[in-house]
Amino acid sequence: MSKYIELNNDNFEQTVKEGVSLVDFWAPWCGPCRMIAPVIEELAEEFEGKANICKVNSDEEQDLAVKFGVRSIPTILFMKDGVVVDQMIGAASKQAFSDKLNSLL
């Protein structure tokens, strides 16, 4: 079973610089974040070897949240070769995330 990648200031750039990445900015106290957590884990399994499925705890990594202008959580960034190409704010369906990832692959 694959697991999502936990990002922080040290590994963020290296992880997202090549290929497609989904980056979920979340916090432990956020209800919608907890609601989509199982979806993120399923995506990590389904897109293993095709896309990076990542999470950033915005409470612990405030510098990254500020850098990417995250004001509401969950905020999901879609990145291609290190560049943000799209974002979704709030909980969404697994299908919505999958469709967006597939469109970038």
Determine the Cα–Cα distance for residues 49 and 32; give it in Å rounded to an integer. Answer: 27
Is residue 54 among the annotated active site residues? no
Considering the candidates 20, 22, 30, 76, report the single residue annotated as catalytic. 30
> Strand, coil or helix: what is 20?
strand
Is residue 33 among the annotated active site residues? yes
Which residues does 70 contact at the CB level (< 8 Å), separation at least 6? 25, 58, 64
Considering the candidates 7, 22, 33, 73, report the single residue annotated as catalytic. 33
Could you give the residue numbers annotated as active site?
Answer: 30, 33
